[in-house]
Structure 1
Amino acid sequence: MIQAFADKETERLFNREPVKRFPPPVQRPALRKLLILDAAESLDDLRNPPGNRPEKLHGDRKGQHSIRINDQWRVCFRWDAGDAYEVEVTDYH
């Protein structure tokens, strides 16, 4: 379950409010991924659908995980005891 967001735009998108920061073609699939993350009880739950491609991140994002929205955009988050924290939709590259 999502417990905390890293930014207001991601939280607004999750709450189905208008967000200008994310391109329109990204918003719908991003919301779908946020809903999947919110329903997850474990990191293994994020393996389906396979397009999520969950990853443990490294470098300046060490301690975070991500699932893919598309080739460019990700949902990044910290996972602790079955909950997601610091959730953000980001242009990862």
Structure 2
Amino acid sequence: MIRSFKCEYTEALSKGQRVRRFVNIANVARRKLRQLEIANRIEDLKVPPGNHLEALMGDRSGQYSIRINDQWRVCFCWTDAGAENVEIVDYH
């Protein structure tokens, strides 16, 4: 379950609104956000393998990401209650 968003644009996209900055990735990004919404455990996000779930390091230590495409990621913190501080970021 998604408990909070770090980015207002990510929240708008998750609610089905059109977000200009995400227009090229909107369909895949919404699908990834739905997967995040229904996940009960972090391990649920390992499937499908295309998510490329990974624990982040460095200045994003404590966060995880799943892949939208080669450029974009959904980054979030995971707690027992679900995903928090969810944001879509240009990873490169």
Provide TM-score, normalisation by structure 1. Answer: 0.95
Task: Tell me the percent identity.
Answer: 51
Distance 2:37 2:5 in 1: 11
Which digits, 9 at most, give the CA deviation of each residue in 1:51-89, with x for residues without a partner?
001000000101100000001100000001140000001
Distance 1:7 1:66 in 2: 15
Gapped regions of structure 1 (runs ≥ 5): none
Structure 1 residue 20 displacement after superposition:
1.1
Which digits, 9 at most, give the CA deviation of each residue in 1:16-71, with x for residues without a partner?
0111122x221110000000000000111001111001000000101100000001
- The corresponding residue for 1:54 is 53
Structure 1 residues 1-93: aligned runs within 5 Å: 1-22=1-22, 24-93=23-92
Provide TM-score, normalisation by structure 2. Answer: 0.96
Gapped regions of structure 2 (runs ≥ 5): none
TM superposition outliers: structure 1 runs of 4+ over 2 Å: none
Q: How many residues align?
A: 92
The amino acid across from 1:5 in the alignment is: F
